Structure 1
Amino acid sequence: MQKTFNLSISRFFKNLGPGPVIAAAFIGPGTVTVCTLAGVNFGYSLLWALILSICATLALQEISGRIGISTGQDLSQLLRNSKSNTFFKLISMVLVLLAIVLGNAAYESGNITGANLGLEIFWKAPTLQFGVFTLQTGNFLIGAVSLALLYVGNYKSLEKLFIALVILMSIAFTVTALLTKPDWSMVFKGFIPSWNNQEFLTIVSLIGTTVVPYNLFLYASLANKRWKKEEGISWMRKDIGISVILGGLVSMAILLVGASSMSTEVSNAMDVSKGLEPVFGATAKYLMGIGFMAAGLTSSLTAPLAAALVVCGIFGWDQDLKSKTMRISMSLVLILGLTFASFGIKPVQLITLSQLANGILLPLISGWIIWVGAQKSIMGNLQSSFRSNLVYLAIWIITLVLGLKSIGTVFGIW
């Protein structure tokens, strides 16, 4: 009996795939900060929005994984090989490159800076002055470690690394949340949908940090490398289900921590740890430091990986992790982010441009993959059912609102 159980557990973990990469990708410093501020400003009342974001992410990631397995192509390859109008296809590819490559390069600086913020709880790296530029050696160290891991690893080894980091984040933030001894009756009330005008933008931000366009490209690419045809669908669904739900639980734990903070001024998650320290001592600070460092490191790996897969897919280049094209593409994205972070440069123009492109891209890509998933000529027996498409339509409306919010932010409307 014990032997059979051990074999079942071994088979279970052996057949799980790149889902933790997706969880690691959306639990970055941005998500940690947004969830923290949601808790600080509105208590437990927006926990329902995280449930909504988890459901939307699960649905869209499942479609992208199913497309990857069914077609043997990722979304960028499928876009390049589509037989649609040439002008439309060209515009789509340019938009994807702008949103994902430039966006990931810009936000990579935040990932690296976030990881260093967590590192500073344990060790503050020296700052060096070079004329008008100030070199943050901690950021440089995080970036160098990320680049080395991407260069020496393969997809399997990276999956194992992400599993370890996601587990580390989960333990760090969950233990911190439990230490705060939240009012569970209020916590449960937070799962009942309700909002006011002041909460609206935070709701959109909570969903927007979880439903990430580049994760759709990333999972389709990794899923078609991991599983083949219909026999892999069941494992893919278990893989992405467990990973996204675990990531959502981590986000909820972070929100609980924020709701319990006694800090008077909060701009990021590390400010919350200062508010917890008088009651819980240094434990909370160190746990938050570990969680923030792991969140920054995972996102600093997934952002250049996803961007490189998109670049190579669109141009028809080799997507092997150790291929010259992948290494050059990953290096360019990571080095740009490292430069911005290490020298304190704020890539405002790039962020603005990527926000605009993402605002247009999210509803277009989500609508496109929902349409592809429903086509029997493309998906065969793996096409979406009519009932599923009704649910996907509701999710598409959510992505449309998120896209309009991003565009509105760029033009100062929201």
Structure 2
Amino acid sequence: MTPPPSEAEATLPSQEQWRFFRDTGENRPSLPEVNASVAVPKGATWLRRLFAFAGPGYMVSVGYMDPGNWATDLAGGAQFGYTLLFVIMLSNLMAILLQALSARLGIATGRDLAQACRAYYPRPVNFALWIACELAIIACDLAEVIGTAIALNLLFGIPLVAGAIITALDAFLLLYLMNKGFRFLEAFVVALLIVIFGCFAAQIIAAQPSVSGILGGMFVPSPEIVANPAMLYIAMGIIGATVMPHNLYLHSSIVQTRAYERTEEGRRDAIKWATADSTIALMLALFVNASILIVAAVAFHGTGHEDVAEIGQAYELLSPLLGLSVASILFAVALLASGMNSTVTATLAGQIVMEGFLHLRIPQWARRLITRGIAIVPVVVVTWLYGEKGTAELLVLSQVILSMQLPFAVIPLVHFVSDRKKMGSLAIARWVSVLAWIVATVIVALNVKLLYDTFAGL
């Protein structure tokens, strides 16, 4: 016999409720250890309410400025100047829309994207989606390992192989932060984001870029982006590094850490504030990603250093080319902060995906060590055989792999939030649905084009 719906499920039609939970027989919330654990003040000013909801958006934004972005943005700026700024802007706008939809799904249904997929899709489809998402998380973890290892090497002279192995210890850092409480975890993430923002603000001031060049590159698209296979490869890497597929699973879960009223009115209010939170946070990510490309364009493009695509090369050249003695140090510090921050979101996303698709719960430290171990092996092998150049190419490749996984997260998300049978009155408006499907179509089309160019080149 189907149990009566809880208050959190009351806005869904009863038949759809049964279908939603038919596979579990229980109404276990996403991330149950922190679900509804952050208080939301009632009748408070808009600023206090915004602050209460602030946090999940910044945790999601971490994935949009992780070490994988650095390789693609550096290569794009060095080779093509400001041209690919438009791709960064477009990717960020896509991210703002998709993360807003992800937050809406989690708040409206009380379930994250992985749980929704398991409830509504056949088992073979779910298995394929789970594999695709795990590949995306491994690719993201690969970028974190490489980025953190390079930062440790640049700042402290630790060999890349040793640095990659050291990154396995971050499992215990996350475990400590989670035990302190979710708000404490968010504060840690925001503190590192402030470090990254400050480092790049200083570099932008030192670079003194062309304002007209920035505006032209950001708002005037170049046909060459699609026509030039080399530029398209970098552009797809930027999209893959910016619009992170596992973040869609993550956001739909962590927005539920807020203790908003589980009524239709309470959910509408929560969706509004969660959307504002993620939009503000992703504008910070836009600044960081654009800054990396702009600094690379100023320092390397047109100066005889167009072939710079490795983080180590950029580190060595930034200070002399920008005329700022601490530019290289700031660059490496921001990279280390980025790598440390990204470990938090990748781990949580892995937990959400595994529990949502498989209902398999394992300790966070074990989950982290498993995924980090899978990422460490190729980094160690490639570093051992090919050195830093090999890791740089592996870093860009990881972002293209991420981009290839995007349709497997974007299409189910748009499908769910557009369906009034599943979302009730909180489904998105028709024009938003059309826009979201256009974004999904663009992502799929670019992936097909990239695959064609890749195999045609082979």
Query: Structure 2 matches for 1:96-107, cutoff 5 A?
Result: 96-107=129-140
Contact 1:119–1:290, Cα closer than 8 Å, also in 2: no
Q: Distance in 2 between matches of 1:402 and 1:64?
A: 22
Contact 1:68–1:74, Cα closer than 8 Å, also in 2: yes
SS class of match (2:155): coil
1:149 is aligned to 173
Structure 2 gap segments, 5+ residues each: 1-43, 261-266, 385-389
> CA 1:116/1:96 → structure 2, altered by over 3 Å: closer, same or farther?
same
Query: Would you say 1:215 and 2:247 are equivalent positions?
Result: yes
Q: Which amino acid aligns with 2:98?
A: L
2:317 is aligned to 275
Structure 1 gap segments, 5+ residues each: 1-5, 128-134, 319-323
- The alpha-carbon deviation at position 395 of structure 1 amounts to 0.6
Q: Distance in 1 between matches of 2:423 and 2:336?
A: 40
Q: Distance in 1 between matches of 2:446 and 2:341?
A: 24
2:126 is aligned to 93
- The alpha-carbon deviation at position 333 of structure 1 amounts to 0.8
1:118 is aligned to 151
1:193 is aligned to 221
Query: Would you say 1:245 and 2:289 are equivalent positions?
Result: no
2:33 is aligned to none
- The alpha-carbon deviation at position 396 of structure 1 amounts to 1.3
Query: Would you say 1:226 and 2:261 are equivalent positions?
Result: no
> CA 1:408/1:161 → structure 2, altered by over 3 Å: closer, same or farther?
farther
1:181 is aligned to 208
Query: Would you say 1:400 and 2:444 are equivalent positions?
Result: yes
Q: Cα deviation per residue 1:2-46 (whole Å; 9 max; x = unaligned)?
A: xxxx97655532321311111111211111111111111111122
Contact 2:240–2:406, Cα closer than 8 Å, also in 1: no
Q: Which amino acid aligns with 1:283?
A: V
Contact 2:136–2:246, Cα closer than 8 Å, also in 1: no
Contact 2:152–2:336, Cα closer than 8 Å, also in 1: yes
Q: Distance in 1 between matches of 2:454 and 2:283?
A: 31
Q: Which amino acid aligns with 1:163?
A: V
Q: Distance in 2 between matches of 1:217 and 1:57?
A: 13
- The alpha-carbon deviation at position 409 of structure 1 amounts to 7.0
Contact 2:102–2:413, Cα closer than 8 Å, also in 1: yes
2:414 is aligned to 370
> CA 1:259/1:354 → structure 2, altered by over 3 Å: closer, same or farther?
closer
- The alpha-carbon deviation at position 271 of structure 1 amounts to 1.8
Which of 314, 323, 331 is the aligned partner of 1:288? 331
Q: Cα deviation per residue 1:112-144 (whole Å; 9 max; x = unaligned)?
A: 22112123332112x5xxxxxxx8322233331
- The alpha-carbon deviation at position 325 of structure 1 amounts to 4.2
Q: Cα deviation per residue 1:74-100 (whole Å; 9 max; x = unaligned)?
A: 111111122x4xxxx222222222222
Contact 2:244–2:402, Cα closer than 8 Å, also in 1: no
Which of 341, 345, 349 is the aligned partner of 1:298? 341
Query: Would you say 1:29 and 2:61 are equivalent positions?
Result: no
Instruction: Identify which range, 266-275 or 45-54, moves more after superposition.
Output: 266-275
- The alpha-carbon deviation at position 55 of structure 1 amounts to 0.9
Contact 1:26–1:212, Cα closer than 8 Å, also in 2: yes
Q: Cα deviation per residue 1:344-400 (whole Å; 9 max; x = unaligned)?
A: 479999x999977963x5224322221211122221221111111221122112221
- The alpha-carbon deviation at position 200 of structure 1 amounts to 2.9
Q: Distance in 2 between matches of 1:11 and 1:27?
A: 26
Contact 1:99–1:354, Cα closer than 8 Å, also in 2: no
1:202 is aligned to 234
SS class of match (1:261): helix
Q: Distance in 2 between matches of 1:352 and 1:409?
A: 15
Q: Distance in 2 between matches of 1:221 and 1:294?
A: 24
Instruction: State the aligned residue count.
Output: 388
Instruction: Identify which range, 333-342 or 366-375, moves more after superposition.
Output: 333-342
Give TM-score scaled by structure 1 length: 0.84
2:425 is aligned to 381
- The alpha-carbon deviation at position 410 of structure 1 amounts to 6.9
Give TM-score scaled by structure 2 length: 0.77
Which of 161, 170, 174 is the aligned partner of 1:136? 161
Contact 2:237–2:399, Cα closer than 8 Å, also in 1: no
Q: Distance in 2 between matches of 1:398 and 1:254?
A: 25
SS class of match (1:384): coil
> CA 1:409/1:147 → structure 2, altered by over 3 Å: closer, same or farther?
farther
Q: Which amino acid aligns with 1:137?
A: A
SS class of match (1:120): helix
Q: Distance in 2 between matches of 1:169 and 1:380?
A: 40
SS class of match (1:193): coil
Q: Which amino acid aligns with 1:105?
A: I
- The alpha-carbon deviation at position 227 of structure 1 amounts to 5.4
Q: Distance in 1 between matches of 2:49 and 2:350?
A: 31
Instruction: Identify which range, 220-229 or 377-386, moves more after superposition.
Output: 220-229
Percent of paired sites with the same residue: 23
Contact 1:69–1:223, Cα closer than 8 Å, also in 2: yes
2:117 is aligned to 79
Contact 1:118–1:292, Cα closer than 8 Å, also in 2: yes
Contact 1:355–1:406, Cα closer than 8 Å, also in 2: no
Q: Which amino acid aligns with 1:176?
A: Q
Contact 1:311–1:329, Cα closer than 8 Å, also in 2: no
Which of 106, 128, 138 is the aligned partner of 1:68? 106
Instruction: Identify which range, 98-107 or 363-372, moves more after superposition.
Output: 98-107
Q: Pairwise CA RMSD of aligned residues?
A: 2.9
